[in-house]
């Protein structure tokens, strides 16, 4: 897509103007049955009904029977675990030792990291995900490989080197000092380099000493605008282990708070077993949670209390995470399907509007990027996904029996997967097109 040239996408258009958890869901969104999204210089110039648009001298790409939304946002995912997705039969702590730590040792080889990063980024884009908060491994070269590949696609990604100085195989350990120094070097190179953003990444409290957590907290405070991601309250066994390892701390979240690891741009994955005090602390500090329903179901970790987290009196910023490889799909549509089931088991009802908000504008809010991505609106970065409402015979058939657009969205999130993604746009460039023999052939920039 040439610079300065106007290009427009014609299809149905969905975007959110309010949080449906806190307002009437029916008033939370804007929908154009026949819309036009005009793109220039990587950003959205205008969004309107097609009938109201002046399309003289504008190339219009038409997507019949499709809906354009903001690109999906994945708030918690491990790219090195792509090679062990669907690993059988363990709960979290055993699963880490039996599968994860073995797989991650291979990322000392940068060529291996590059190969996995290349597949990972393409699978994200195939699923319509344009931004993700990504865990690399303890190896700096795993971070270099990831950001280099992200730069090829110009995707807005958040990622960082994992910090671990105990309770893991020797080959995966750093120290408080080396972890700080390596993270600082990577941060200085990559944070704000194009669309790349750096995230200080202690894996979780049990694999970092108090000294390392404190060093991570110092590094984060020294570099405003960077991110911090880790895991929190995923399983009851993990919580009990944290209590043993940090007996002087009040609870799991308190371990991070004492190290200076709560606040804006902190992203806590899972948060399944949270107390009211925990939710209040996240609200007060501006810390975000990443709901990972597919992973929590797969490992039997428990049911995240989404509507409790989003309680209007003290709402917590909450996004959606696939959590590969405990999560079993790159697709946020499939993740939303599991989020609906988790919500139902909690006695609550996750509507399609709640769900699509979480996967787009809600995720952007969780990542403090709500002024840049997550909406199909003028001035926003043109990260977009085009969803096909007839991507399979079953979906096509089922859509004929829907009563309104919101029901169509619900069918998409309960029956859909990456096959629903007709095209993915990153900063206005069409980087994925399902209809081509080589669906990534458009993504030639910087390659």
Looking at residue 101, its pLDDT comes to 95
Model confidence pLDDT, tens digit, residues 353-365: 999 999 999 999 9
Looking at residue 316, its pLDDT comes to 98
As given in the structure block, the two tokens for residue 144 are: 């270099």
> Fold for domain 72-366?
TIM Barrel (3.20.20)
Looking at residue 445, its pLDDT comes to 46
Looking at residue 443, its pLDDT comes to 61
The reply to whether 7-71+374-433 and 72-366 are identical in fold is no
Looking at residue 1, its pLDDT comes to 44
d(CA 21, CA 225): 27
Dihedral (Cα; 403, 424, 269, 101), 10-degree rounding: 130
* Residue in the structure block whose two tokens are 């307002």: 23
Residues in CB range of 165: below 8 A, 6 or more apart:
173, 174, 175, 176, 179, 207, 208, 209, 211, 212
Q: In this structure, what are the phi and psi dihedrals at residue 114, rounded to the nearest 5 degrees?
A: -65, -40
Residue 147's alpha-carbon distances to 48, 125, 173, 189, 373, in angstroms, are 35, 15, 22, 10, 19
Model confidence pLDDT, tens digit, residues 275-333: 999 999 999 999 999 999 999 999 999 999 999 999 999 999 999 999 999 999 999 99
Residue 172 has what DSSP assignment?
G
Model confidence pLDDT, tens digit, residues 216-236: 999 999 999 999 999 999 999
Q: Where are the domains of the chain?
A: 7-71+374-433, 72-366
Dihedral (Cα; 86, 91, 97, 103), 10-degree rounding: 10
What count of residues does the chain have? 447
Q: Are 205 and 256 in contact (CB under 8 A)?
A: yes
Other residues' Cβ atoms within 10 Å of the Cβ of residue 385: 27
d(CA 387, CA 413): 11
Residues in CB range of 170: below 8 A, 6 or more apart:
none
d(CA 33, CA 405): 9
Looking at residue 55, its pLDDT comes to 72
Looking at residue 447, its pLDDT comes to 42
Is the whole-model pTM more than 0.95?
A: yes
Degrees to nearest 5, angle at CA 352 with 348 and 358 = 85
d(CA 125, CA 330): 9
Which residues of the chain fall short of a pLDDT of 50?
1-2, 444-447
Looking at residue 442, its pLDDT comes to 61
What homologous superfamily does CATH list for 7-71+374-433?
Urease, subunit C, domain 1 (2.30.40.10)
d(CA 17, CA 29): 5
User: How many percent of the chain have pLDDT more than 90?
Assistant: 93
């Amino acid at each position: 897509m040439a610079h300065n040239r106007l290009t427009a996408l014609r299809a149905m258009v969905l975007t959110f103007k309010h949080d449906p958890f806190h307002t009437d869901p029916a008033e939370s969104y804007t929908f154009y049955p026949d819309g036009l999204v005009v793109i220039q210089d990587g950003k959205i110039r205008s969004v309107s009904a097609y009938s109201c648009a002046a399309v003289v001298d504008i190339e219009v790409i038409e997507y019949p029977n499709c809906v354009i939304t903001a690109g999906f946002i994945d708030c918690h995912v491990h790219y090195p675990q792509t090679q062990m997705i669907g690993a059988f039969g363990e709960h979290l702590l055993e699963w880490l030792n039996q599968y994860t730590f073995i797989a991650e040792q291979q990322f000392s080889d940068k060529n291996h990291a590059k190969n996995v990063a290349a597949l990972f980024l393409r699978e994200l884009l195939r699923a319509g995900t344009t931004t993700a908060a990504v865990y690399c491994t303890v190896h700096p070269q795993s971070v270099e490989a990831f950001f280099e590949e992200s730069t090829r696609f110009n995707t807005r990604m958040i990622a960082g080197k994992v910090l671990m100085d105990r309770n893991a195989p020797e080959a995966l350990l750093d120290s408080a000092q080396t972890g700080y120094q390596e993270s600082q070097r990577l941060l200085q190179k990559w944070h704000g380099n194009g669309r790349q953003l750096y995230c200080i990444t202690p894996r979780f409290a049990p694999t970092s000493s108090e000294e390392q957590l404190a060093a991570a907290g110092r590094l984060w405070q020294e570099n405003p605008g960077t991110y911090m991601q880790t895991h929190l309250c995923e399983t009851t066994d993990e919580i009990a282990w944290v209590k043993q390892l940090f007996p002087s701390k009040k609870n799991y979240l308190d371990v991070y708070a004492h190290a200076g690891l709560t606040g804006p741009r902190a992203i806590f994955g899972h948060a399944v077993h949270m107390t009211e005090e925990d939710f209040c602390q996240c609200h007060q500090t501006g810390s975000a949670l990443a709901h990972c329903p597919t992973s929590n179901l797969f490992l039997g970790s428990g049911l995240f209390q989404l509507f409790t987290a989003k309680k209007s009196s003290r709402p917590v910023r909450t996004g959606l995470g696939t959590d590969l490889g405990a999560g079993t799909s790159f697709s946020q549509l499939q993740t939303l399907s599991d989020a609906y089931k988790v919500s139902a088991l909690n006695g609550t009802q996750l509507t399609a509007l709640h769900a699509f908000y979480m996967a787009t504008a809600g995720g952007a809010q969780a990542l403090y990027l709500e002024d840049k991505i997550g909406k199909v609106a003028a001035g926003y970065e043109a990260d977009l996904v085009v969803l096909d409402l007839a991507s399979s015979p079953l979906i096509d058939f089922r859509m004929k029996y829907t009563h309104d657009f919101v029901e169509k969205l619900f069918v998409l999130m309960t029956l859909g997967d990456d096959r629903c993604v007709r095209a993915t746009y990153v900063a206005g460039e069409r980087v994925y097109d399902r209809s081509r023999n080589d669906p990534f052939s458009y993504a030639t920039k910087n390659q």
